[in-house]
Amino acid sequence: MELSVHDRVSKNEHIAQRMFDDQMLVITAKDSMLHKLDDVGTFIWSTIEKSPSIKEICELLQESFEGFDSRKDLSDVCDFVETLEKKKLVVVRHCS
């Protein structure tokens, strides 16, 4: 299902995570797969703490990253969230 800006993202509760050398490491408990997030990924991950909508994530990115454009870069954020979802790091609640 395609993501909409209103969809809410929360962490899979069965992950392990740690800030490591300024970047976020995340493990999915089920398969012990280790993932490393880059700077922007780490930032987005930190925003997911409060189950934000994709729109809210974009707003936070715009506040913190110069040059980030909520409208232009929305699809990149959606792609990233989709990847996180595929890897079972997050759960997306579809809201219209």
- Find the part of the chain contacting another protein (CB under 8 A) among 26-34, 45-53, 55-63, 70-78: 26-34
C-alpha to C-alpha distance for 83 and 64, rounded to whole angstroms: 22
By CB under 8 A, is residue 40 in contact with another protein?
Answer: no
- CA dihedral over 41, 96, 73, 2, signed as positive or negative: positive
- Whether 96 and 2 have beta carbons less than 8 Å apart is answered as no
- Find the part of the chain contacting another protein (CB under 8 A) among 8-16, 39-47, 50-58, 73-81: 8-16
CB of 3 to another protein, least distance (A): 25
